[in-house]
Structure 1
Amino acid sequence: MSSETASELFAVADFCLIPMGTGHDPSVAEYIAECARILDKSGLKHQGSWSAVSKAIHDCHAAVHAKGAPRIATDIRIGTRSQPRTDAVPNEGENERKLRRVQDILGKDRHGASSG
């Protein structure tokens, strides 16, 4: 394993991209759809390397600018791990996984309360 691979972080990003200065139409749906296309093409599903996640956000910005948005404001929240997730369920997003985990814990609480 190379030192570059050993130091790679695995990331999940939640970002809100807001195109600004897009003209008289307040709708930004076309711009957001373009970003969704970029994310789909990235191949990222629920997590990826820090560099792949950062590149996907960069590529969204580039595509939305190319579509005509002169300015973009983006809020980004990134969580990282030193190792990739090993308990991921296919086609389950990070938020769904977290919700499932909390529901599992609450289910155990309810089961324990009803048997005692």
Structure 2
Amino acid sequence: MLTLYAWANEYPEFEEAVEISWHKLHACWINLLRENITNPAFRQTTALQVMATRFPATWGQQPRNTLEHFEARNASNNDGQQNEEDPRTLTDEELAARLEVYRLRRESEK
């Protein structure tokens, strides 16, 4: 997890890819459950345990390694103070400026 955090801190496009992947993985597991819910050979209990472990925020009791946890990695520094760089605190203009920087970086990398 530390490597993922470091990459996401250095490469904003990686953070975006992690979030997209997380949602796709969740959808894949939900589709598997939905498609097999009436299959008597499908181990529903095992599948639900996997869901509770992998997606505890929505399927389990004890959140661990959730998307929310990943996104919150920069919410506070070691002193418990809110980071100034938290994107949730930026204005629309500041967000638009950051997106433009990322767009220009992508174009220059092509």
TM-score (norm 2): 0.25
TM-score (norm 1): 0.24
Quick check: which one's strand share is greater?
A: 1
Quick check: which one's helix share is greater?
A: 2
